[in-house]
A and B are shown apart, each in its own frame.
Chain A
Amino acid sequence: MTQSEFLNVVMPFKDKLYRLAKRLLVSSEEAEDATQEILMKLWAKNKMMESYKNVEAFAMTMTKNFCLDRLKSKQSSNLKLVHSNYSDDSSSLQTQVEAKDSVSWVEKIMEELPEQQKMVLQLRDIEEYDFDEIAELLEMKPTAVRVALSRARKTVREKLLQKHRYGIR
């Protein structure tokens, strides 16, 4: 497989790998590093790639495992919070700020979810994979996927409502 063929295969889903990595690692720098690592690993295996029936699913599973390993090693070395993407896109309109605020709340709430729920929510509600694919990607049982998804969605709803009511009650 040549370099351009490889890029054609990888292009459609490289953003998905990055978004999953970022969901798990939070820091966009680290997510970029992880994605690059995964793509280079895939490239190193490019001779075998034709034999994989679903390269995308394979790459997603690789990303998942890679990020979980990173998290594990980070926890053991006590380096938990290292992201620096506190961007400040200031918008002038008050309404816009408010809307953006509650939207970015969702992101923060998702950061607090357990890894498995994060991944399920990411894959279902953001990437819109179907349930069977998610079960395959995460190496989980379909019922477990639904349970995790339901928990994740309910947590997000609850926390979002709490934030909204904050100051009112």
Chain B
Amino acid sequence: MGSDKIEKILEKYFEATATEAEERTLKNYFLEGDIAPHLEQYAPMFTYFSEAKEERFTRQVPLNTRSRYYKWISVAAVALVAFGIYFGTEYQQKRALERQEAEIAYQETKKALDLLATNFGKGTQKMAYLNEFETTKQKIYNKN
């Protein structure tokens, strides 16, 4: 292709009015290497553009769905521990209260039983009089 035609396309290229086909011919002209000396200065642009297209994204992207799953497991574990602590202390308090109540009930029963025992003691004392009565009765029987 003649360099004057390329020059015309170049002009349009810099005004960004060239068609896509014209830009393609321009690129091909500069990449094929047979460039007119006065146009050489533009070559680095087109060389760079074609080189830049060769760059690749090489990193492996981790696309595991499991990561989300693990996240929720840890959330559940934390929630569980929090619940455990909350309800655990509540349970402990309840236990302590129960123990106190049991203690009070024990003391009360003990008191009641003590009362009963002293009353029984009084009963047996009275029974001792009866016993006296019995011995005298025996004495009387023996005399006769």
Contact = CB atoms under 8 A, between A and B. Distances in A.
Contacts of A126: 49, 52-53
Contacts of A40: 61-63
Contacts of B51: 103
A14 B59 CA distance: 10
Contact of B48 (A39, A103, A127, A164): A103
Nearest to A145: B16
A43 B64 CA distance: 10
B55 A125 contact: no
A35 B61 CA distance: 9
A106 B51 CA distance: 11
B14 to A, nearest CB: 5
Given A126-B49, A154-B14, A160-B41, A22 B59 contact: no
A153 to B, nearest CB: 5
Nearest to A14: B57
A147 B48 CA distance: 22
B63 A3 contact: yes
A80 to B, nearest CB: 23
Contact of A127 (B20, B53, B57): B53
Interface residues of B, number: 24
Contact of A157 (B42, B53, B62, B63): B42
B31 to A, nearest CB: 12
A15 B57 contact: yes
14 contacts: A6-B63, A15-B56, A15-B57, A18-B56, A19-B52, A19-B55, A35-B59, A99-B44, A107-B48, A126-B52, A126-B53, A153-B14, A156-B45, A160-B41
Interface of A: 3, 6-7, 14-15, 17-19, 22, 32, 35-36, 39-40, 43, 99, 102-107, 125-127, 130-131, 146-147, 149-150, 153-154, 156-157, 160-161, 164
Interface of B: 13-17, 20, 23, 41-42, 44-45, 47-49, 51-53, 55-57, 59, 61-63
